Amino acid sequence: MQRLDIMGHYNTKLSRREMIRQSMQATAWLAVASNCAPLFAAPDKRRFKLGACDWSIGKMGDPAAFEVAKQIGLDGVQVSLGTAADDMRLRKPEVQQQYKEAAKKAGLEAASLAIGELNSIPYKKDLRTVPWVSDSIVVCQALGMRVVLLAFFGNGDLRDDKAGVEEVVRRLKAVAPKAEQAGVILGIESWLSADQHLEIIERVGSKSVQIYYDVCNSTDRGYDIYAEIRKLGKHICELHAKENGSLLGKGNVDFKKVRAALDDIGYQGWIQIEGAVPAGKPMLESYQANCKFMREILA
């Protein structure tokens, strides 16, 4: 009687030992295929998409960030709106076109938008920031993005600043209807705790104002990030996978536990790698290692 071997070929003289060997090979091959499939799935089939901040890969405000991200193996880039010095250049249609062309050429996406300049020129008190935030919504629409990171560090820190929080709430209430109509989310990233963040977004009262969660920043503040992720739940619009001075998986954040918390809240979408370059190590090499690590965690 003819039998098929594992390659689909007929073999009339399979011994019992050979049959067992081929069966074991087939089982091993299926296990490898099963484990690798999620890592190589098309980006639009993945539950999570992986990007990096343009400033952390050395290309802040530069469309060349997409080519670097392609070399790393990412799905997209978190792009910067600009700086005060360049008048938030991504607001210009011709610059937006440059980004579209660069993303298309690399086969990647403009993942989300960030206004890092708010750390130096704070949203809580500088009137220049009001049109920046408002215009960022239009930029998101133009580039097919849905999240804007609003940074509240440095001069923009909200800790122990009741008046600052009051003004931020007032300004967010004013711009939220525009964001809602555009389907864009304004994500607050700050040193505040989960409870303090929840108080702000509840006061604003808009589905378009959510939390941009940075697992490293919150760990450094001493917060239980795994509990915070579960508490914030649906209010998390996007996350930074970050470490200061070490590769992801080699620092203080347990990314397996982060993944478990994300599973519990049903999060899906973009996760942006930030930092995570050891002292003296090349950025590209470090980010390729970080990308590989996160693909394994998120598979």
Task: Give me the half-sphere count of Cα atoms (radius 13 Å) on the Cβ side of residue 250.
Answer: 13
Instruction: Clarify whether residues 268 and 283 are in a common domain.
Output: yes
CA neighbor of 233 nearest in space, from 259, 257, 266, 185: 266
**pLDDT tens string 90-136:** 999 999 999 999 999 999 999 999 999 999 999 999 999 999 999 99
C-alpha to C-alpha distances, 87 to 50, 66, 250, 256, 271, nearest whole angstrom: 29, 22, 38, 40, 28
Domain count across the chain? 2
13 pLDDT higher than 90: no
Give the structural domain span for 17.
Answer: 1-40
What pLDDT score was predicted for residue 243?
97
11 pLDDT higher than 60: no
Domain containing residue 168: CATH number:
3.20.20.150
Instruction: Clarify whether residues 139 and 115 are in a common domain.
Output: yes
CB 116, CB 55: distance < 8 Å: yes
Q: What is the pTM of this model?
A: 0.85
Instruction: Clarify whether residues 121 and 36 are in a common domain.
Output: no
Report CA torsion sign: 204, 205, 208, 214: positive
**pLDDT tens string 159-187:** 999 999 999 999 999 999 999 999 999 99
Tokens coding 12: 């009339």
